[in-house]
Amino acid sequence: MTVTIKGLVLVVDDVESSRMLAEAFLIRTGWRVRTFDGAKAVLGFVRNIVPEAMLIDVRMPGLAGDKLVQVLRQEAATRSVRLVAYTALTQPEELHALRAGGFDDVLLKPASLADFAKVLPRDDMVSRVRVSAVGSS
């Protein structure tokens, strides 16, 4: 039996500094975060616990993110999870291919707090992020 946890986002990236940055920003935007250094570990996790969203690095050793998304879309439990590509790829055709390949959205590295909030919004946090951005000078 799998359990879906609302408010949980999984970050999958082989680069520790990218995982740490994503985790810090996502926590600030209201998410509960769990990080993984590769596809194998996260696939084992989602057999039992399904998140609301996943932030997935596209280029990882082993099973790359663009292949991982295909596996997740084929499984009934993870088919409707919001999947966001986390990448340094910037060419329009590459970004189109990621969306066509199963990602719901793309977050370009390096990303700001506002970028994270835009692609992975939390209903209860969106207004606070906007107020903070407006109130800053």
Tens digit of each residue's pLDDT (9 = 90 or more) over 85-137? 999 988 889 999 999 999 999 999 999 999 999 999 976 544 344 443 444 44
> Residue 7: what pLDDT?
95
Tens digit of each residue's pLDDT (9 = 90 or more) over 31-82? 999 999 999 999 999 999 999 999 999 999 999 999 999 999 999 999 999 9
**H or E, element range at 56:** strand 49-57
CA distance 16 to 5: 24
**CATH superfamily of domain region 3-135:** Response regulator (3.40.50.2300)
Q: Tell me the whole-structure pTM to 2 decimals.
A: 0.87
Can you give the residue ranges of every domain in the chain?
3-135
Cβ-Cβ contacts under 8 Å for 33 (sequence gap 6 or more): 8, 9, 10, 11, 22, 23, 26, 27
